[in-house]
Chains A and B, each alone.
Chain A
Amino acid sequence: MPRYIAIFATNKHSMNKKNGTTNHRVPDFSSTPRIDKVGVEERVSRFQKRSIKSSAKLQGLHMILNMIDLTTLEGKDTPGKVRQMCFKARHLHDVHAGLPNVAAVCVYPSMVGVAKKEVEGSGVKVASVSTAFPSGQAPLEVKLMDTKYAVDQGADEIDMVISRGKFLSGEYNFVFDEIAAIKEACGKARLKVILETGELVTLDNVRRASDIAMYAGADFIKTSTGKIQPAATMQVTYTMLEAIKDFMDETGIKVGMKPAGGISNSKLALHNLVMVKEVLGEEWLNNEWFRFGASSLANDVLMQIMKAETGHYQSTDYFSID
């Protein structure tokens, strides 16, 4: 691959950008920083030992709700299912006043139109997976059409998958170009790039894929599709957060982070927030820059909020499943 590529940065949200163009030196991805797994595990255990209590916990739980991409990505999805989920997105738990909405709903391209209509005017975004999600095993033309369709239907955000097969066979250039092409097809929609870290296996690969995605124009990098285990482990998320920090240092461009898959309880979500705060800083602690891709997290957070307010755990039957 060429050592230096001037890329047309279409990152709409970049900080130092004038009228959409910035030229950055693209690093040689075969020599991205090495990651020591044992060291990462140790660092992560420090985040997990943070004790988040009382007011900090309550504030954290509210933030989490507001960062959730409420997700349904099933073959059996129907407009009815999507509509119900969109209602939940705006009415998380109406018996408790003052709760935020979730950040977005995340659906297949075929459901974008339905979702868009449902959440209109609520501030809740519609995110669509694309590029032959979840495998990504389709030619670029198909992936571009998939993406354009979702954008045309009104998707505010596109969650693409990288070509893991190409990545693992060392064709970093291919992966880079593909992301850049999808980014262009996104137009105004923000692009989240799913690395599917469970298939990349090593943290060295996670780091390399993060760098490729960010230099190719990702607005967000995202761990997983939710279809492969392991998904958003703290080790993987930590590695990606450090990559984001380094990218920010190098280019001045802020990139968002979305762990997805496996974050099903409040404690784990709070530890993720701790990690974001301590690695990237508080500027990342909002749904512009940090999201949780999750389907069952919201109800656990709601349950914890009600516990904090009332002193009692309520039955799961008090929390709606949509």
Chain B
Amino acid sequence: MAKKKEKKTTIEWDYAPAPESTSHIEVKDRYDLYIGGKFVKPSGGKYFATYNPATEDKLAEVAYANEKDIDKAVKAARKAYNEVWSKTTPAERAKYIYRIARMMQERARELAVIETLDAGKVIRESRDVDVPLACNHFFYYAGWADKLEYAFPNREVEALGVAGQIIPWNFPLLMAAWKIAPALAAGNTVVLKPAETTPLTALKLAEIIHEAGLPAGVVNIVTGYGDTGAAIVNHDDVDKIAFTGSTGVGKIIQKAIAGTGKKATLELGGKSANIILDDAPIDQAVEGIINGIFFNQGHVCCAGSRLFVQESVADIVIKKLKRRMDTLIVGNPLDKNTDVGAINSKEQLDTIAKYIKIGKDEGATIHQSNCKLPKNGFYCAPTIFTDVAQSSTIVQEEIFGPVLTVQTFRTVDEVIQKANNTPYGLAAGVWTDKGSRIFNLTTKLNAGVVWANTYNKFDPTSPFGGYKESGFGREGGLHGLSAYVKLK
């Protein structure tokens, strides 16, 4: 009956739009600084706008904190440390942190939508990764707060004091959780600055912290640009700097605090190798490549941005990779079916475009997925470069976008050498069917995290951090806790 017709015409079946609703969220027109348990206006009276990178619409105005504001925030944190937080029993501290975690869970949907609006990341990720992980970090470290003597047996544990924390725009809420949760658990007070392009979820977190009744000044959240961050780094009364961001800024911070006695953890850039051996389960490895580089539009410090494929399987891996790229849905980050969302800012889009041009100019072969990009907003099609070498600029420098370079190798020794031949050392991935090959590679790769047959997996119990110019110190797990304590 209907069969003859069907034989000739291929049915087109497109997914209808499935946008997450924004009706339940509350974003104010203007946000002030959260200092000493109050939302206060910036002393300079200046505000800056934060935009939705997917539409270029203005979302809100946010206070621009200057040196005076930072001084106020640090003083509030010091006062809270001396008078309240250092005298609060560990079990009480734990209760506050648990409360924050639970309140975040209750408002998970709102946080996810705001994260997507402000950062351009797809709702699937903010809903399933960012927000749940952020909550889990608070839950995990809440558990340690009254067990510090067991965390560090036979040592006396003391808090550091005031921690100045500066976080990036790629995982705004999650990075705030990574920083605040262990600091509070260990008994420190905090001055935290979110990135200028993505301040909203940190400010929402300030509201949650306020509602949770955390004593005034224990957590202070200040917004602004690089000079605001510099004011935190250079403030005399800050005991510890925790920074996640670019290697360039990390170097400036390290110079600035040299000789001051401030402790520091720096989680910086990366150019991580994702290594596919010839016996790897190919389809799953291809999925791992996709996840490694296109997760969060490639705005991931540990992104698997350098792909190494063993030559005997290179053709099939690249063929399947291109095919899989074409099925990625790029567009409105609020749509539940979108795989790749918007680039975080115009500035970052320009940076990525610059590197794509360099790649082409240096003679690499480009392949971009055949997706349609929205007219407004900042978008970049998933991109891979083949015919590149260790000496190519795009292989050496961190692009921080959905751009992958593909190199081939012949032997395991060769790939270890090439994977380690970078100033960075944050993460790596290894794909093989053989356990022995995994252990051989994981012991020889100079990377803080090595994933085997998976990529971009995070857990609060697992330490994360880099070698070489990817920074020092670890976040997550016991290691993350130790970065916020003095051991005697």
Asked if residues A57 and B284 are in contact (CB atoms below 8 Å), the reply is no
Distance, CA A242 to CA B316, complexed state (A): 13
Distance, CA A278 to CA B17, complexed state (A): 17
Number of A-B contacts (CB under 8 A): 92
Which residue of chain A has the shortest Cβ distance to B283 in the bound complex?
A242
Which residue of chain A has the shortest Cβ distance to B7 in the bound complex?
A288
* Chain A residues whose CB sits within 8 angstroms of the CB of B284 once the complex forms: 35-36, 38-40, 42-43
Which residue of chain A has the shortest Cβ distance to B15 in the bound complex?
A56
Q: Judge if B91 is at the interface, Cβ distance under 8 Å.
A: no
Interface size class of B (residues with CB under 8 A): 20 to 34
* Chain A residues whose CB sits within 8 angstroms of the CB of B1 once the complex forms: 101, 122-124
Distance, CA A288 to CA B291, complexed state (A): 33
Q: Judge if A282 is at the interface, Cβ distance under 8 Å.
A: yes
Which residue of chain B has the shortest Cβ distance to A39 in the bound complex?
B284
A116 to B: closest C-beta gap in Å: 16
Asked if residues A285 and B13 are in contact (CB atoms below 8 Å), the reply is yes
* Chain A residues whose CB sits within 8 angstroms of the CB of B128 once the complex forms: 49
Asked if residues B453 and A51 are in contact (CB atoms below 8 Å), the reply is no
Instruction: For chain A, residues 259 to 290, give those with C-beta under 8 angstroms from any C-beta of chain B.
Output: 273-274, 277-278, 282-283, 285-288
A157 to B: closest C-beta gap in Å: 13
Instruction: For chain B, residues 440 to 483, give those with C-beta under 8 angstroms from any C-beta of chain A.
Output: 453-454
Q: Judge if B194 is at the interface, Cβ distance under 8 Å.
A: no
Q: Judge if B83 is at the interface, Cβ distance under 8 Å.
A: no
A130 to B: closest C-beta gap in Å: 23
Asked if residues B11 and A35 are in contact (CB atoms below 8 Å), the reply is no
User: Interface code B70-88, partner A: CB below 8 Å = 1, 0 otherwise?
Assistant: 0000000000000000000
Asked if residues B287 and A59 are in contact (CB atoms below 8 Å), the reply is no
A66 touches which of B2, B280, B283, B285 (Cβ 8 Å): B2
Asked if residues A288 and B453 are in contact (CB atoms below 8 Å), the reply is no
Asked if residues A288 and B3 are in contact (CB atoms below 8 Å), the reply is yes
Q: Judge if B252 is at the interface, Cβ distance under 8 Å.
A: no
A34 touches which of B6, B124, B281, B319 (Cβ 8 Å): B281
Distance, CA A55 to CA B14, complexed state (A): 9
Given A34-B279, A43-B284, A101-B2, A56–B14 Cβ distance below 8 Å?
yes
* Chain B residues whose CB sits within 8 angstroms of the CB of A277 once the complex forms: 13
Asked if residues A33 and B282 are in contact (CB atoms below 8 Å), the reply is yes
Q: Judge if A168 is at the interface, Cβ distance under 8 Å.
A: no
Q: Judge if B336 is at the interface, Cβ distance under 8 Å.
A: yes
A287 touches which of B6, B17, B288 (Cβ 8 Å): B6
Q: Judge if A60 is at the interface, Cβ distance under 8 Å.
A: yes
Instruction: For chain B, residues 51 to 73, give those with C-beta under 8 angstroms from any C-beta of chain A.
Output: none
Distance, CA A16 to CA B282, complexed state (A): 26
Given A38-B453, A50-B337, A51-B337, A59–B13 Cβ distance below 8 Å?
yes
Instruction: For chain A, residues 284 to 310, give those with C-beta under 8 angstroms from any C-beta of chain B.
Output: 285-288
User: Interface code A40-80, partner B: CB below 8 Å = 1, 0 otherwise?
Assistant: 10110000011111111101100100100000000000000
Asked if residues A51 and B2 are in contact (CB atoms below 8 Å), the reply is no
Asked if residues B6 and A286 are in contact (CB atoms below 8 Å), the reply is yes
* Chain B residues whose CB sits within 8 angstroms of the CB of A282 once the complex forms: 10-13
Asked if residues A285 and B337 are in contact (CB atoms below 8 Å), the reply is no
A135 to B: closest C-beta gap in Å: 31
Which residue of chain B has the shortest Cβ distance to A54 in the bound complex?
B16
Which residue of chain B has the shortest Cβ distance to A13 in the bound complex?
B7
User: Interface code B1-31, partner A: CB below 8 Å = 1, 0 otherwise?
Assistant: 1110011001111111110000000000000
Distance, CA A285 to CA B14, complexed state (A): 12
User: Interface code B119-142, partner A: CB below 8 Å = 1, 0 otherwise?
Assistant: 000001000100000000000000
Asked if residues A53 and B288 are in contact (CB atoms below 8 Å), the reply is no
Q: Judge if B327 is at the interface, Cβ distance under 8 Å.
A: yes
B139 to A: closest C-beta gap in Å: 23
* Chain A residues whose CB sits within 8 angstroms of the CB of B281 once the complex forms: 33-36, 39
Instruction: For chain B, residues 297 to 347, give those with C-beta under 8 angstroms from any C-beta of chain A.
Output: 319, 327, 336-337
Asked if residues A288 and B6 are in contact (CB atoms below 8 Å), the reply is yes
* Chain B residues whose CB sits within 8 angstroms of the CB of A57 once the complex forms: 16
B336 touches which of A40, A51, A101, A286 (Cβ 8 Å): A51
Distance, CA A249 to CA B319, complexed state (A): 10
Q: Judge if B433 is at the interface, Cβ distance under 8 Å.
A: yes
17 additional A-B residue pairs with CB within 8 Å, beyond A43-B283, A55-B16: A35-B283, A39-B285, A42-B287, A42-B291, A42-B454, A49-B128, A49-B336, A51-B337, A53-B18, A60-B13, A63-B13, A123-B2, A124-B1, A277-B13, A285-B11, A286-B6, A286-B10
Instruction: Sample 18 A-B pairs with CB under 8 A, ordered by A number.
Output: A33-B283, A39-B453, A42-B284, A42-B291, A49-B128, A50-B336, A51-B337, A52-B18, A59-B13, A60-B13, A63-B11, A123-B1, A277-B13, A278-B327, A285-B10, A285-B11, A286-B11, A287-B6
- Residues of chain A whose beta carbon lies under 8 Å from any beta carbon of chain B: 33-36, 38-40, 42-43, 49-57, 59-60, 63, 66, 100-101, 122-124, 242, 249, 273-274, 277-278, 282-283, 285-288
Closest 10 CB pairs of A and B: A39-B284, A123-B1, A51-B18, A36-B281, A56-B16, A51-B336, A36-B284, A54-B16, A286-B6, A34-B281
